[in-house]
Amino acid sequence: MAGISLPLRAALTLITLGSCPSAVLAADIAPNEPLQIFARFKSALEADDLATAGQRAEELVTLTEAQHGKDSRELVNPLTNLGTVQFRRGNFAAAEAHYQRAIALIEGQVSGADRLLIRPLQGLGETWLVTNRPADAATALKRAVDLSRNLDGLHNAAQLDTVDALIEAYENIGAKAEAEREHQYAFRIAETSFGKRDLRLIEPLDRYAHFFESVGRYATARGLHARALQLAEELSADKPVVGIPALRGLARTWLLEAIYGPEVEAQPAFELKDGSDPFVNKANQTRLNSEGLRTLTFAVDIVNRSKPVDQRQLGELLAQIGDWYLVSGNLGRAYVSYADSWKALSNAATASGTPQLRALLESPRVLVYRAPSGSVSRMKVQSPDDYAIKDIEMRLKVGKDGKVQDVVVASTTAPENSTKAAVLAARKTRFAPRIVEGEPAETEGVVLREQLMIRIQRSPQASSSDPPVAKP
């Protein structure tokens, strides 16, 4: 893999040389040589020239080994930088090895907390996160966060990127309570750093609200979006576009609430019986709060009045309006909104020379999905050791109207009955269709993955060496 498109948090961008006192340099190493190599490394990394950055990082490791020995703590930063380059190149096995070596150099050598551990721990956690080892990632990232809080204070802003990664790990393993606790902590840090009346709070408010949306607490999310909108209106009256994310968030909570009901964990707003249509229609039409569509229309007006018009923002808003109409069953208006969205995003792509700006419409997007009851995202168990996690991957055929026309199980480790439940849930999924040249298009091979928790059936007569059997 030549590279990865991941959000690069601090551990993946921060670069340090570490200590290299000239008094301990080997006789054949010029005093300024490490600094010169580091400068070239830093320049290459900032230019995203990862091949050159990797070469310079390896040179620094070799040079530091020659100066201080292969077991010196002076190697921690050079190894961490090398791991970061390998991570960004997509070579996760090499990144993991470098981060682990850096950690091993100082593990247990200092009583109490050692600041040098923070960056390699975060890098290792990020690596495990992207290689689908979220439980291991959570352990490493929690250590990094605890170290940061012990050394730099409970509310230091430097920990925010590590906390973001920890939240992602918790969410991936279904640890909702822990994820919510860290979300609260992250927001408290932002408030402490910026104050309660600062435009910089808008992004943390939006991120916190997104979490509550993901767990079905739409009223709570709406309150956070409303607070962000109030800040934008009071502190940025001359630039109303600052409030666009909050307006979009408000509309999204109303739509989600119409689909799933006030709380996801409670009874859904309408049962998805076999053969039923989860689009809002007739009996469910009144569940859609028209305030949501009005909010989106208001946001479009704000963008159109701003000069120059942000075509990307306009396109994303129009796509969201299309989603609203599609869920409400008004296909005609949905297709018109999607066509307008495609035009705006195409204009943005042409103006910026970035075709990826059309990516929003180039593949189907999930609008309505209720996971099967055994899904990791829904099950609450008191004894996780009594369950095994089984993976299912399905390939879907999605029609122009966003409905699933066919489901094929590509792979599964789950029992037959559980696999059938996942397939049934997949058939009831509703998507925003792929848009091609402004027109909705049928799409085959859409991947949908699910993880199920299957109770482990243990026989009282079985010996301790016998493997447990997953119960359907």
Would you say residue 273 has pLDDT above 70? no
CATH fold label, 1-194: 1.25.40
Candidate ranges 7-21, 217-231, 275-289; pick with highest mean pLDDT: 217-231
d(CA 356, CA 154): 39
Would you say residue 287 has pLDDT above 70? no
pLDDT of residue 18: 52
Would you say residue 270 has pLDDT above 60? no
The string of pLDDT tens digits covering residues 173-224 is 878 889 999 999 999 999 998 999 999 999 999 999 999 998 889 999 999 9
d(CA 57, CA 68): 16
Would you say residue 466 has pLDDT above 90? no
How confident is residue 11, by pLDDT bands cut at 50, 70 and 90?
low
d(CA 444, CA 363): 10
The string of pLDDT tens digits covering residues 445-463 is 999 999 998 988 876 655 5
pLDDT of residue 286: 47
Q: What SS3 class is residue 340?
A: helix
pLDDT of residue 26: 43
Q: Which residues, 6 or more positions from 246, have their beta carbon under 8 angstroms from its beta carbon?
A: 202, 205, 206, 225, 226, 228, 229, 232
Question: What CATH number was assigned to the domain covering residues 367-470?
Answer: 3.30.2420
Q: What SS3 class is residue 454?
A: strand
Higher-scoring residue by pLDDT: 366, 379: 366
Q: What are the sequence ranges of the domains in the chain? A: 1-194, 367-470
Would you say residue 68 has pLDDT above 70? yes
Lowest mean pLDDT among 16-30, 85-99, 132-146: 16-30
Lowest mean pLDDT among 84-98, 322-336, 375-389: 375-389
pLDDT of residue 386: 87
- Residue 246: is it exposed, middle or buried by C-beta count within 10 angstroms (0-12/13-18/19+)? buried
Would you say residue 5 has pLDDT above 60? no
Average pLDDT (6-14) is 52
The string of pLDDT tens digits covering residues 216-265 is 899 999 999 999 999 999 999 999 999 999 999 999 999 999 888 876 44
Would you say residue 313 has pLDDT above 50? yes
**Residues facing 457 on adjacent strands:** 469
Q: Are 87 and 9 in contact (CB under 8 A)?
A: no
- Residue-averaged pLDDT of the chain: 85
How confident is residue 268, by pLDDT bands cut at 50, 70 and 90?
very low
Angle at alpha carbon of residue 192, lines to 190 and 194, rounded to 5°: 65
Task: Report helix, strand and coil shares of the chain as percent, to nearest 5.
Answer: 60, 10, 30
- Does a cis peptide bond (omega within 30 degrees of 0) precede residue 308? yes
- Across 449-459, b (16+ Cβ under 10 Å) vs e yields ebbbbbeeeee
Return left, alpha or beta for 262; rule: phi > 0 is left, psi -120 to 50 is alpha, else beta: alpha
d(CA 175, CA 169): 9
How confident is residue 284, by pLDDT bands cut at 50, 70 and 90?
very low
